[in-house]
Structures are given as C-alpha cells and as structure tokens.
Amino acid sequence: MGTEHTTEPTVLAPEDFDRWWDGVVRAFGGGPASSEERELDRSLTEFDRTLAVRDGDEIVGTAGAFSFRMTVPGGAVVPTAGVTMVSVAATHRRRGVLTSMMRRLLDDAHAKGEPLAALHASEPAIYGRFGYGAATFQLNAEIDTARVTLALPDGTDEVRVRYVSPADALKECEAVYAALVPGRPGMLARQPGWERQGLLDPESDREGASALQCVVAERAGEITGYARFRTKLGWGPSGHDGTVTLEDLAALDPATEGALWRFLFGIDLMSTLTVHGRPVDEAWQHLVSDIRRCRPRLRDAGYVRLVDVGTALAARTCLAPVDVVFEVADAFCPWNEGRWRLTGDAKGASCERTSSPAEVSLSVRELGAAYLGGTTLLSLAAAGRVRELRPGALVEASVALGSPVAPWLPHGF
C-alpha cells in the first residue's frame, strides 16, 4: 500500500469535472468518448454527491450518486441513490479506494434518508461485498425477422406508425415513458434532463450503423408509444442482410406494442432485429412464431442495496399476506443488522425491529436481490444463501416478496 496518499474521498469541484471524467473513461477502456456524452454527463452530475479520491494532484478514484426515485412492487416511487461512474486508476487498484468510496456513498444515502441504492455493475463480482444483490435481469435477442412471424393483437391496424425526428418527438416520448413508470418495479421516474440520454448519438458509437431513428405510434391523434433504433445495411452472398438495432421502445397498450414490433420486423432489406436490455417478460416474446429463432439471452442487469431495511420493505406491497421475522446480517451497514418483522399484504406492508425469534436468516445482499421481485428467496435458499428457521416461513416470505410484473432497470446511468 502506498503511504503518500489517502483513500479518503472528497466532493468533486465542478472545475475538476473534465479531469475526473477522463479518469472514468480511461478506467472503462479508454474510449472513444464523445464530447456530446461528456456534456450530458456534466449537466446531469450532482456535484454535491460526486466523489474524487486524490493522490497529490492526481484523481485516482471516481464515484457518484444520482438522486433517483425508483418504482417498487405496489407502485410506490422510492428515493434511491443511483450509484455511478465508479473507477479507480489502474495504478491505484486493490488498495481500498473503491471500498472507501462505497463507504461514503452509503453513509451519505443513509443520512439523506434514501432507503435504496441501485447500480449497473461492470462486473457482477464487485458489489456483493457491499450488500448489493442482482435484482433485475434483462433480455437480449437476435431475431431472425426473415423467418419469424408475428401474431398481432386486436386493434393493431388502428395504430399508425410514423417517422419523426428523435429530438422533435422527445416530449411526447417522455410522456409515454412517464406513464409506464408506476407499473413496473425498477423503473426510474426521470428528472428533467435525463430524457436527453435517449438522444445520445455519437458517431463513434454507431459502428457503421445509421444515426438514431425514431417512430411514434398514434391512435386517434394520441401518441401511445415509440421506438428508437438504428439500421445497418449488409450484403451477403444471397443478397441483403441488414440489421435493425432497437435502442428503446415503450408502448401504452397491446395494440401499440404490436404495431411497433410489426414495424421493426418489416423494414425492407433488414433480416435481423437485435434487441438488448429489454424486460424479461416483455410482450414480444408472445407475439413471435418461433422464440428459439429469436435467440433470447438472459443477463443480470440492476443491482439493489437496501440502505435502510425497515423503510425499504415497508415501502412495497406484498404479493400475498405475510408475517415473518428476518434475521438480517449486514457487515457493511451495521445499522441494518438484527431482527425485522415484515407484515403485510397486497395493500401495504410494515417492517419493524423485533425481539421475536428469527424465522428466516439471510444477509442484506439476498434481500436486495429479492426486493423488487426479480429473484426469489426460495432460489437463493436452494443455493444455501437463505436459511429457513421456522417451517413454512421461507415460502411465505418468498411469495410475499414477489412481483406480478418483472422488475426492469430501464437505462444505464
């Protein structure tokens, strides 16, 4: 360990943003990184919760948090620290710099009364030690649109799809997104400014594909959905072999969903539709004639940490009536340690400290994984990560923490 520097984070001054951001870019492989992205990140940065660790004049550690609000099962939108831009210079790795930044971010979130923290992990192995569990998953797919057909829902023909400029339609698209937020756990109620992330379109990221394109879906003059995508034409021995890459899609109803997918399937000269980061229960899987030819692949996506176990669990509803005492281990945030009694049903929940005997024992990481309903306590118990101490309590708790809609973290941050 070096002796000349400390791992103590300090709050980032706005004038240091460029150096700080360069450090992030270098740690994430060195770019290319566009000025467009830098300016958007600068405008979204909450400087009072953005950290730098220094070694002399050099910034060797970066991290920050956004003041998000995230939907939880039942529809409440809960203050959440969106942890972001975590990097440590390769010259200073494995000396505890990350650990000290995580300490500070979680202490700050706790002091602010944010019951949750969430992040996208560059590697799944990093954040478990800090109490984060894999809470949302995403579906990626490469759909052979030359072979796969769609069975469309009633009303699809009443929906009109038309091209718009992505920027011109931003307000209408954002209204569609906002209407969907309460209905799916994990979705983020976006602060003004965040909608611009959906327009980021640096040429360096296109890999030969088109600029971002956008269509909106309309019924009776109302915009009911949108899709943003790119196209890339390719030619093989037997002719055209183009790819459509879906960047974002939102639909308020089944007919709109059908109309947008029909459009994406039907673009001439394109034979593959690549989708990534989609909800695991999204409707398109039930529209297609041959799911196997869509090559669906599941991936871990959002990691959730209960910063305050009692407040977090009381903020969601329970899928079935429950009355269970959890024994929670939390070495990194010891204020969560001990026994918590969760009671509740579909209308609401309460979670209080108790001296009653423990019935299910687990660490805060497992609670984070199960919290949005995307991972069951039963499956974690099968891996030995959750223990049942009262017969029946595990199934009861596992079902109660479920969600009728799969959780999904809608975009990067």
Ligand X SMILES: CC(=O)SCCNC(=O)CCNC(=O)[C@H](O)C(C)(C)COP(=O)(O)OP(=O)(O)OC[C@H]1O[C@@H](n2cnc3c(N)ncnc32)[C@H](O)[C@@H]1OP(=O)(O)O
Interface stretch with ligand X, choices 40-48, 79-87, 254-262, 270-278 (CB under 6 A): 79-87
Classify each residue of 167-180 as buried b or exposed e, where b means 16 or more C-beta atoms within 10 Å of its C-beta: eebbeebbebbeee
Is the CB of residue 32 less than 8 Å from the CB of residue 207?
Answer: no
Which DSSP symbol is given to 253? S
- Please pick, from the candidates 45, 50, 80, 87, the single residue that binds ligand X as defined by CB under 6 A: 87
The label of the residue with tokens 């998953």 reads: 137
Q: What are phi and psi of 141, to 5 degrees?
A: -155, 155
What's the min distance (Å) between Cβ of 202 and ligand X? Answer: 19
For residue 126, state whether it binds ligand X (rule: CB under 6 A): yes
**Euclidean distance between the first and the last CA atom of the chain, given in angstroms as a whole number:** 31
- Please pick, from the candidates 2, 11, 18, 28, the single residue that binds ligand X as defined by CB under 6 A: 28
Is the CB of residue 254 less than 8 Å from the CB of residue 218?
Answer: no
Interface stretch with ligand X, choices 119-127, 260-268, 282-290, 394-402 (CB under 6 A): 119-127
| Residues in 43-62 at the binding interface with ligand X, rule: CB under 6 A | none
Interface stretch with ligand X, choices 80-88, 181-189, 271-279, 378-386 (CB under 6 A): 80-88
For residue 121, state whether it binds ligand X (rule: CB under 6 A): yes
Would you say 107 or 158 has its CB closer to ligand X?
107
Structure tokens at 411: 């975009």
What's the min distance (Å) between Cβ of 144 and ligand X? Answer: 33
For residue 81, state whether it binds ligand X (rule: CB under 6 A): no
Written as one letter, the residue type at 325 is: V
For residue 118, state whether it binds ligand X (rule: CB under 6 A): no
For residue 98, state whether it binds ligand X (rule: CB under 6 A): yes
- Please pick, from the candidates 65, 71, 73, 95, the single residue that binds ligand X as defined by CB under 6 A: 95
What's the min distance (Å) between Cβ of 113 and ligand X? Answer: 22
Would you say 19 or 339 has its CB closer to ligand X?
19
Spell out the SS3 assignment of 7-64: CCCEECCHHHHHHHHHHHHHHCCCCCCCHHHHHHHHHHCCHHHEEEEEECCEEEEEEE
What's the min distance (Å) between Cβ of 53 and ligand X? Answer: 9
Interface stretch with ligand X, choices 117-125, 176-184, 294-302, 384-392 (CB under 6 A): 117-125
User: What is the Cα–Cα distance from 59 to 287, expressed in whole angstroms?
Assistant: 50
For residue 246, state whether it binds ligand X (rule: CB under 6 A): no
For residue 316, state whether it binds ligand X (rule: CB under 6 A): no
User: What is the Cα–Cα distance from 361 to 338, expressed in whole angstroms?
Assistant: 10
Packed helices 17-27 and 35-44: angle between N→C axes, nearest 10 degrees? 120
Residues that bind ligand X (CB under 6 A): 27-28, 83-88, 93-99, 119-123, 125-126, 129
